[in-house]
Amino acid sequence: MTDDIPSPCDLLVIGTGLTESIVASAASRIGKQVVHVDHRDFYGSNWATFSFNNLHNVLGVNKGLTECIEETKKETYSIHIGLNSNTVLNVVEKWFISDEDVEATIDNQLRIEETNNGILKQTWTKSEVLKHSRKFNFDLSPKLLYSKGEMVEVLISSGICRYAEFKNVSSIYTYDNVESGLLPVPCSRADIFNSKDITMIEKRLLMKILSMCVEYETKPEKFQEDEMGNFGNFLDAHKIQGKVRKYLIDSVAMAKESTNFQDAVKNIQKFVRSIGRYGNTPFLWTLYGSGELPQCFCRCSAVFGGVYCLKRSTRSIIIGSDGQATGIMCDNQNLKAKFILIEDSLNPLATIKSGISRAILVTNKALTSNDQAVLINLPSLNGKEPVRILELSASTMACPQGLYVVHLITRQVTTAIEDLREVIDTFFSAVESNENEALHKPQIIWSLHFNINEYESYADMLPLNLYSSPGPNSSMDFDNHVIQARNIFKSMFPDEDFLPRVPDPEDVILEGSAEEVVLQESLENQEVHNVHE
Residue 517 located in a structural domain: no
In this structure, are 230 and 359 located in the same domain? no
Residue 127 inside a domain? The answer is yes
Least confident of 61-65, 163-167, 208-212, 247-251: 61-65
Is 530 contained in some domain? no
DSSP 373: E
Question: Do 59 and 193 lie in a common domain?
Answer: no
Rounded average pLDDT over 409-416: 95
Nearest Cα to 374, choosing from 341, 408, 411?
Answer: 408
Within a domain: 178: no
Q: What angle do CA 450, 456, 459 make, to 5 degrees?
A: 155
Number of compact structural domains in the chain: 3
Q: Which of 257-266, 325-334, 342-351, 522-531 has the lowest mean pLDDT?
A: 522-531
Q: What residue numbers bound the domain in which 495 lies? A: 2-90+290-350+457-507
Nearest to 149 by CA among 299, 277, 296: 277
* Angle, helices 292-303/18-29, rounded to nearest 10 degrees: 20
**Is residue 528 a part of any domain in this protein?**
no
Question: What Cα–Cα distance (Å) separates residue 449 from each residue in 55, 125, 299, 468, 532?
Answer: 12, 21, 31, 28, 34
Average pLDDT rounded to a whole number, residues 230-239: 90
- For 326-377, the pLDDT digits (tens) are 888 888 788 999 999 999 888 877 888 899 999 999 999 999 877 689 999 9
117 and 240 share a domain?
Answer: no
Assign residue 502 the CATH number of its domain.
3.50.50.60
- Please check whether residue 70 lies inside any domain of the structure: yes
Of 456, 474, 497, the residue that ends a domain is 456
Same domain, 306 and 390: no
Q: Are residues 58 and 40 in the same domain?
A: yes
Name the burial class of residue 149, with classes exposed (0-12), middle (13-18) and buried (19+) by CB atoms within 10 angstroms of its CB. Answer: buried
- The pTM of the full predicted model, rounded to 2 decimals, is 0.85
Segment 74-127, tens digit of pLDDT: 445 555 555 555 788 899 999 998 776 444 433 443 344 444 444 445 678 888
Among 418, 433, 456, the domain-final residue is 456
Pair 452, 463 in one domain:
no
Within a domain: 214: yes
Please tell me whether residues 201 and 273 are part of one structural domain.
Answer: yes
Angstrom distance (rounded) from CA 130 to CA 484: 39
DSSP secondary-structure letter at 420?
Answer: H
CATH number of the domain residue 427 falls in: 3.30.519.10
Long-range Cβ pairs for the range 211-219 (8 Å, 24+): 213/265, 213/268, 213/269, 213/272, 214/268, 214/269, 214/272, 214/273, 216/265, 216/269
Statement: residue 235 has pLDDT above 50: yes
Separation between Cα atoms, residue 427 and residue 175, nearest integer Å: 11
Any domain includes 225: yes
The whole-angstrom separation of Cα 25 and Cα 308 is 11
> Residue 204 sits in a domain of what CATH number?
1.10.405.10
- Alpha carbon distance, N-terminus to C-terminus of the chain: 9
pLDDT in tens, 363-377: 999 998 776 899 999
Pair (360, 212) in one structural domain: no
Confidence of residue 533 (pLDDT cuts 50, 70, 90): very low
Instruction: State the pLDDT confidence band at 164, using cuts at 50, 70 and 90.
Output: very high
Residue after which a domain boundary falls, among 277, 301, 319: 277
pLDDT band at 523 (very low <50, low <70, confident <90, very high): very low
Q: Are 199 and 217 contained in the same domain?
A: yes
The one-letter amino acid code at 488 reads I
